């Protein structure tokens, strides 16, 4: 599929209006994940701030803040008259960004587990099982991505 083909496909984001994480951070994380996993490629067109806000039924300022953060970290580029696209030079995750994302995921997991009444021992066991399920292939992909940034 070419970038031109993907221009016609809407970006699919899932956000939680009731979750503990702010909506703009959810948008940032979801788009960053799509870029990291190849779901979005350099040059892919993103919806306008207005369109994103309408699609997600959120305030335009919230969508704008997410895009501002994505631009600041150079994951997207916005050009007057050219729209918003995935940056041409998306670099491997920096150590700081990787740490921020892991910390956010762990915090969300802990908050959700506490909300559901799941104790620390059960959370640890489930995380351990999930990491084992990921297996050596996922570990190898993470190592390649980490080494590419070095």
pLDDT of the residue at 3? 47
* Closest C-alpha among 68, 69, 86 to residue 77: 86
Residue 54, phi then psi, degrees to nearest 5: -65, -45
Q: Which token pair is 83?
A: 């729209």
pLDDT of the residue at 95? 62
pLDDT of the residue at 101? 78
What is the pTM for the complete model shown?
A: 0.58
Counting the structural domains of the chain, the total is: 2
CATH number at residue 15: 1.10.10.10
106 lies in the same domain as 76: no
- Residue carrying structure tokens 């729209």: 83
Enumerate the β-bridge partners of residue 17: none
Domain extent for 144: 95-148
Question: Final residue of a domain: which of 66, 86, 106?
Answer: 86
Q: Please work out, in degrees rounded to the nearest 5, the angle formed at the alpha carbon of residue 69 by the alpha carbons of 99 and 98.
A: 15
Contact call for residues 40 and 31 (beta carbons, < 8 A) = yes
7 lies in the same domain as 61: yes
71 lies in the same domain as 8: yes
69 lies in the same domain as 101: no
Contact call for residues 108 and 114 (beta carbons, < 8 A) = no
73 lies in the same domain as 126: no
Residue 78, SS3 per DSSP = strand
Mind listing the pLDDT tens digit of every residue in the chain (150 residues)?
A: 444 445 556 677 888 888 899 999 999 999 988 888 788 888 999 999 999 999 999 999 999 999 999 999 889 999 888 899 999 876 555 566 677 878 899 999 999 999 999 999 999 999 999 888 876 555 555 555 455 544
Rg (CA), the chain: 17
């Amino acid at each position: 599929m070419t970038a031109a083909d993907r221009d016609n496909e809407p970006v699919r984001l899932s956000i939680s209006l009731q979750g503990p994480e702010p909506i703009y951070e959810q948008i940032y994380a979801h788009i960053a994940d799509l870029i990291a996993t190849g779901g979005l490629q350099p040059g892919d067109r993103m919806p306008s701030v207005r369109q994103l806000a309408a699609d997600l039924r959120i305030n335009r300022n919230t969508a704008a803040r997410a895009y501002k953060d994505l631009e600041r970290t150079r994951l997207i580029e916005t050009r007057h008259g050219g729209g918003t696209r995935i940056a041409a030079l998306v670099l491997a995750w920096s150590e700081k960004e990787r740490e921020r994302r892991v910390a956010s995921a762990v915090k969300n997991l802990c908050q959700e587990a506490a909300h559901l009444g799941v104790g620390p021992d059960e959370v640890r066991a489930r995380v351990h099982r999930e990491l084992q399920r990921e297996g050596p292939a996922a570990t190898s992909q993470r190592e390649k991505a980490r080494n590419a940034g070095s």
